[in-house]
Structure 1
């Protein structure tokens, strides 16, 4: 299990390195293109891409920290660093979205006042087209690990936003080239900002779920309890807790009341193996802890502590 996790972590870091190289190379091109063309939409997309690069750097640092082994002080290791990296990514996305929206509204207001900002559509179109290709390449690199790692998912969502942003910039550039409607540039910027916010909030919600030790979204606690109760020798189950150290690393604990013959016949080890195997196979629980108790233990505890 630990070897598999290390292998996945190494592959994730390789994906992050490659994606960062792609994004970093194009960011320079995009900033130059934004300055040359005067496009706010292109500059907004460059700002979003810069946040991507920062987010990828944070994700890389988090992945290295998360790979550190457990200690007597950090008994679960440092894997939650991935969640903190995702938190930073989410906050960066929100800041970028608000900044872009404010700038876009400012340009629209000056445009209405007759002071429209001049935008050169052709350079804007060329740079945005290159950006679209770069974002597709980065997405393909990150897609393989985005499902299982909240850290990579944050990076993947940021690049996905850039992909959509590049498409919007291309659309705005085409409108400017063929109609001269300069307001298409700040309008596209507002659309990019509107697309960033829901993805950022979704990522922050997932981060909050882990930090508050809520049950993972894809875990049905009632179904787990039912599986345990169907196990031969189990009478009742209580104090059930399910949470995640980071995405894909689920942890479970419960007090399980068992029939007297489980203790008398020495079946406790066999029962623990069966319960742990059930959770690992059916619910992808990486670490499970069961406290076996005599039947009726919960009622006695409640009577003693009303």
Structure 2
């Protein structure tokens, strides 16, 4: 009888990604209040609009943090893979939120171009400069996280949008103070909105691809089949290959392997899994060994 090792279950502790998203949300949320007050005191719709933008981003960062926190829950009988997919779902929601924020910025910018508003450049400059420092701090906090994690990427894109907004507001305040030309504010907002739109689209596309069980971009299934048959002499054919992602860092795979008669099946199975682990970083795989015709063929 084989000996079964019982591993002690370790508590699910907060990851560095979760902690970084939490602090970014706290920093962004705190300054949202400051910027709203600055917008009211200066009468600047630009600052009030950016405060609304940062409020939406704070909500997105809180959502990303909750996805990490709930994702730490262990697997159960109803969700055998646990709750890790919430990270991808949160990233998709963040991408959609960014898309609607861009639409709002575009509408607001056009309205300001058609009907310019008076802006107190001095207060706007001070608040925009403070916003730049705060958003830079939040960006540095998130930039140290895992860039392959879609949830972190979604949060980083929101902060990146805030950072660009602060730079645009700071530039606009300088131009307004120097020349009095107020249309520079909505014009710079349009430029920032287009940059955010591209990032939002990429985030939504990647998240949707994972949720649709798409094959990882970095993996060529035909190349994988060829490598396994070449590297393992006992394997005659690899078929019914399915590869997908649980999260952006966790690939999963199932396949059927036709092996020669008389081959050591256990040894072949171990060799296949070892190749998948070393060559492709796939730790979770289900391999069906076949010696005759495939049972799934009609």
Deviations 1:201-255 (A, max 9, x none): 1111111011110011222222222221122211101111110111101101111
Decide which of 73, 95, 98 is 1:93's aligned counterpart.
Answer: 98
Query: How far apart are 1:191 and its partner, in Å?
Result: 2.1
1:102 and 1:23 map into 2 onto residues whose CA distance is 24
1:301 and 1:14 map into 2 onto residues whose CA distance is 46
Deviations 1:136-195 (A, max 9, x none): 111111123242321111101111111112111111111111110011112122223222
* Partners of 1:250 and 1:285 within 8 A in 2: yes
Matched, 1:175 2:172: no
3-state SS of paired residue (1:242): strand
Deviations 1:24-56 (A, max 9, x none): 121111112222333343333322211221011
Query: How far apart are 1:301 and its partner, in Å?
Result: 6.2
* Partners of 2:112 and 2:186 within 8 A in 1: yes
3-state SS of paired residue (1:285): coil
In the alignment, what sits opposite 1:217?
A: 217
- Paired residue total: 291
Matches within 5 A, 1:264-283: 267-283=264-280
Cα distance, 1:301–1:215 mapped onto 2, change above 3 Å: closer
3-state SS of paired residue (1:16): helix
In the alignment, what sits opposite 2:56?
A: 51
Deviations 1:68-102 (A, max 9, x none): 11112211111111111112211211121111211
In the alignment, what sits opposite 1:228?
A: 228
Moved over 4 A (4+): 2-7
In the alignment, what sits opposite 1:189?
A: 189
Q: CA RMSD in A?
A: 2.2
In the alignment, what sits opposite 2:88?
A: 83
Query: How far apart are 1:288 and its partner, in Å?
Result: 0.7
In the alignment, what sits opposite 1:204?
A: 204
In the alignment, what sits opposite 2:38?
A: 33
In the alignment, what sits opposite 1:285?
A: 282
3-state SS of paired residue (1:254): strand
Cα distance, 1:301–1:208 mapped onto 2, change above 3 Å: closer
3-state SS of paired residue (2:159): helix
* Partners of 1:41 and 1:188 within 8 A in 2: no
Query: How far apart are 1:22 and its partner, in Å?
Result: 1.0
Cα distance, 1:221–1:108 mapped onto 2, change above 3 Å: same
3-state SS of paired residue (1:181): coil
Moved more, 135-144 or 199-208: 135-144
* Partners of 1:146 and 1:156 within 8 A in 2: no
In the alignment, what sits opposite 1:113?
A: none
